[in-house]
């Protein structure tokens, strides 16, 4: 089936949900009339309705959800949409990036809200494909729940990678023109050879906040084309009575790509794995095509050169996942009538790779490179990530007039974030400025959280910070200056009412992940507890030291910090708030082993290894059920005492920590088993491994253990 035939026959199933993690969207635009879209209140606020973030988000969303009777015809207008804003505006009319931690929050929220596909037209330029541990955890959470992330490859015009597109479980998207040539600014790299494709990203007509339309180019806009196609293929699965399987659809898309035909002047690495082949993916999903062409084993056919050798690889796909709902068959379009014929003609040409003359490709490719260099259209937005002076995404989005011919303007801006950041993938940004209403509380259901981290605080605004500076005592003449933090804690101790004027935070690896806002009858006592956590963590005025705290509660809205970062707010449950350090837990275990002849240093090493692995190897945001169980296991000294008291006497060490859903659980509960496996390194081949397993119910705001610790040997 040809691409245009496929797209004319289906508009998407209402049970398939596509989450767009981008700027806010103007849902009053005529193209969204009757569209099934929900926009959540998330980690951005104060965004202008006509600002750059809203322009970017509205254009992206219209390419997917634009209705067939409106000015923009989206790829999958019948699917359900979920808009989760992550980008905001900067004062200089540029787009403010979001941190990898904020992106992790948004991804988890999308999965919790039932997304099958997550569109991320943004990323961070990285030296390796390794994301922040919390983002990596969120991406793995998607893979485990069969949710597909489709992410832009970036527009730096280099052999370089962007997170999250470079993560193997995502589907990375580069941009090409209607002739099948990669756009000059579209990134490429080794990781993209396995999980990346090129899709149309040149002069795509989309919506502008306020009711207008414009054309824009970039990997940002190629990405929603692919997200929409994935949603249509999932809808086909439902139509056929199968369960929608986003990751099987991803494999079908990757296996069916049109490969690059190398010749003089063409670099096939810039084509990633190949060009999007909608008809081929459709045939694989419907099991009509049993042979998939492999780019690496495909000889090329050039007119007058070598003959083409087609190597087939049999591949059967399994389609597993969530099944639901009715199916509709109305025709979608990808552009308004004024440009429809040219876009569809381009897709028809792209469906037949042999119809593109190689000599014409060479010529057009060189002409395009020369023209871009002459016009000097490669200005970039620069920024930093978590490492000092590390360069993040450089964007250069081409924003063209609605006639799709002239380039209107190039905007350059500076990104000053000192943390890992995400920016939108545009090739040269648009100068028109849209806006978004400020956000208060989330309209979605409250989400439980049991998070581990370190205590912190924030002022929220410069005025509030100055007020605190003026409130603390001045240094005494002739004596060494006292650190501000020491003065602040002294102020909070003598004037506890000041605690309510601070924003208390829970930091993970030095980055605020949550704000903590006590409410209710025990708010004063909770503020006092937060103060004690901070005092003990900073080791000020006391001989007590804590390394981490646990904060259980519910997510309720967001708040802006002094840095501009917006974080979710936890309403905490005081009865589950604890502060501790490893030495305390180790001392408890040693007391239980006083009658035994044990090596004290060995005990310390084993407990330290366990806790460090919970905190670092299993680092998470504490919002997913399995993560709340893991975090509770890392704070529960009772289970640790039982487990380590036994294994240390047998010279065993920790091998792995796992969580899995408990096969038996009480009604209306959410039970997870934490499983610890130990082995004797001196008798690895002759002594059985020891497994300890205990069940944790995380259905309540404060988790609780269920039953006794179970133990057995495995060989």
Residue 332 has phi, psi (to 5 degrees) of -90, 160
Cα gap 560→503, rounded to integer Å = 9
Q: Indicate the burial class of 524 (C-beta count within 10 angstroms; 0-12, 13-18, 19 or more).
A: middle
Bridge-based pairing state of the strands 398-400 and 689-697: unpaired
Cα gap 599→601, rounded to integer Å = 6
Of 395, 380, 393, the closest CA to residue 103 belongs to 393
CA distances to 6, 61, 630 from 404, rounded to whole Å, are: 26, 19, 53
CA distances to 108, 132, 160, 658, 708 from 625, rounded to whole Å, are: 11, 20, 35, 13, 20
Report DSSP letters for 499-564, one per residue.
Answer: GGGSEEEEEETTEEEEEE---STTHHHHHHHHHHHHHHHHT-SSS---SEEEEEEEEEEEEE-TTS
Cα gap 607→603, rounded to integer Å = 6
Show the DSSP H helices in 179-218 as ranges. 192-195
Of 130, 139, 137, 188, the closest CA to residue 21 belongs to 139
Whether the CB-CB separation of 515 and 458 falls below 8 Å is answered with: yes
Cα gap 438→427, rounded to integer Å = 28
Per-residue burial over 660-682, b = 16 or more CB atoms within 10 Å of its CB, e = otherwise:
eebeebeeeebbbbbbbbbbbee
Bridge-based pairing state of the strands 161-163 and 117-120: unpaired
Which distant-in-sequence residues (6+ apart) come within 8 Å of 49 by Cβ?
Answer: 26, 209, 210, 434, 435, 436, 437
Whether the CB-CB separation of 450 and 555 falls below 8 Å is answered with: no
Cα gap 529→556, rounded to integer Å = 20
Whether the CB-CB separation of 176 and 183 falls below 8 Å is answered with: yes
Bridge-based pairing state of the strands 80-85 and 88-89: unpaired
Residues carrying an active site annotation: 22, 56, 220
Of 105, 151, 149, 108, the closest CA to residue 126 belongs to 151
Cα gap 196→125, rounded to integer Å = 16
Whether the upstream peptide bond of residue 164 has omega within 30° of 0, thus cis, is: yes
Residue 580 has phi, psi (to 5 degrees) of -160, 170
Cα gap 463→488, rounded to integer Å = 16
Residue bearing tokens 């007058």: 304
Token couple for 664: 């038996």
Q: Indicate the burial class of 507 (C-beta count within 10 angstroms; 0-12, 13-18, 19 or more).
A: middle
Containing 216, the helix (H) or strand (E) segment is strand 212-217
CA distances to 406, 603, 651, 675, 680 from 684, rounded to whole Å, are: 69, 20, 11, 19, 6
Cα gap 685→687, rounded to integer Å = 6
**Spacing of C-alpha 302 from chain mean position:** 41
Token couple for 458: 């924030």
């Amino acid at each position: 089936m040809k691409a245009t035939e496929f797209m004319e026959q289906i508009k998407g199933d209402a049970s398939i949900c596509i989450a767009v993690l981008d700027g806010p969207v103007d849902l009053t635009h005529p193209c969204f009339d009757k569209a099934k879209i929900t926009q959540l209140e998330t980690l951005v606020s104060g965004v202008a309705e006509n600002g750059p973030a809203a322009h970017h988000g509205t254009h992206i969303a219209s390419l997917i959800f634009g209705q067939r009777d409106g000015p923009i015809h989206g790829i999958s207008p019948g699917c359900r949409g979920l808009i989760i804003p992550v980008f905001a505006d900067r004062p200089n009319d540029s787009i403010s990036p979001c941190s990898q931690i904020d992106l992790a929050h948004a991804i988890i929220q999308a999965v919790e809200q039932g997304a099958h596909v997550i569109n991320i037209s943004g990323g961070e330029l990285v030296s390796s494909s390794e994301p922040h541990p919390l983002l990596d955890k969120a991406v793995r959470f998607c893979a485990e729940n069969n949710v597909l992330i489709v992410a832009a490859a970036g527009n730096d015009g280099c052999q370089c990678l962007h997170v999250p597109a470079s993560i193997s479980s995502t589907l990375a998207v580069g941009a090409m023109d209607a002739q099948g040539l990669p756009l000059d600014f579209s990134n490429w790299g080794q990781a993209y050879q396995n999980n990346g494709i090129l899709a149309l990203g040149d002069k795509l007509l989309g919506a502008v906040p306020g009711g207008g339309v414009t054309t824009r180019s970039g990997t940002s806009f190629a990405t929603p084309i692919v997200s929409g196609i994935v949603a249509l293929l999932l809808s086909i699965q439902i139509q056929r009575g199968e369960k929608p399987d986003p990751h099987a659809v991803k494999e079908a898309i990757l296996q069916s790509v049109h490969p690059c035909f190398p010749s003089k002047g063409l670099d096939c690495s810039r084509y990633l794995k190949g060009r999007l082949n909608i008809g081929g993916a459709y045939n694989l999903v419907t099991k009509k095509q049993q042979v998939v062409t492999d780019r690496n084993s495909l000889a090329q056919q050039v007119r007058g050169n070598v003959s083409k050798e087609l190597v087939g690889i049999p591949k059967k796909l399994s389609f597993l996942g969530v099944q639901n709902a009715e199916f509709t068959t109305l025709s979608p379009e990808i552009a308004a009538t004024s440009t429809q014929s040219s876009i569809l003609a381009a897709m028809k040409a792209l469906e037949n790779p042999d119809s593109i003359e190689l000599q014409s490709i060479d010529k057009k490719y060189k002409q395009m490179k020369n023209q871009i260099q002459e016009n000097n259209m490669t200005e970039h937005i620069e920024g930093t990530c978590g490492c000092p002076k590390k360069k993040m995404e450089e964007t250069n989005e081409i924003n063209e007039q609605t006639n799709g011919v002239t380039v209107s303007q190039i905007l350059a801006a500076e990104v000053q974030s000192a943390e890992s950041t995400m920016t939108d993938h545009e090739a040269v940004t648009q100068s028109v400025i849209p806006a978004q209403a400020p956000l208060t509380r989330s309209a979605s259901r409250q989400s439980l959280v049991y998070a581990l981290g370190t205590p912190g605080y924030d002022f929220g605004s410069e005025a509030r910070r100055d007020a605190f500076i003026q409130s603390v005592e001045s240094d005494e003449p002739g004596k060494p200056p006292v650190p501000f933090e020491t003065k602040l804690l002294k102020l909070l101790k003598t004037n506890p009412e000041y605690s309510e004027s601070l924003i208390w935070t829970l930091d993970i690896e030095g980055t605020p992940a949550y704000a903590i806002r006590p409410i209710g009858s025990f708010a004063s006592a909770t503020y006092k507890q937060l103060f004690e956590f901070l005092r003990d963590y900073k080791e000020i005025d006391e001989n007590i030291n804590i390394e981490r705290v646990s904060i259980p509660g519910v997510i309720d809205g967001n708040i802006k910090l002094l840095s501009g970062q917006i974080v979710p707010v936890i309403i905490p449950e005081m009865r589950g708030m604890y502060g501790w350090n490893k030495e305390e837990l180790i001392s408890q275990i040693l007391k239980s082993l006083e009658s035994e002849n044990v090596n004290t240093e060995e005990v310390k090493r084993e407990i330290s290894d366990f806790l460090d692995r919970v905190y670092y190897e299993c680092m998470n945001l504490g919002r997913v059920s399995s993560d709340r169980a893991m975090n509770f296991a890392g704070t529960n000294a009772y289970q640790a005492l039982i487990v380590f008291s036994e294994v240390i006497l047998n010279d065993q060490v920790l091998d792995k920590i796992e969580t899995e859903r408990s096969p038996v659980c009480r009604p209306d509960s959410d039970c997870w088993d934490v499983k610890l496996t130990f082995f004797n390194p001196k008798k690895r081949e002759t002594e059985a491994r020891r497994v300890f397993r205990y069940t944790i119910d995380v259905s309540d705001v404060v988790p609780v253990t269920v039953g006794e610790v179970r133990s057995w040997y495995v060989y």
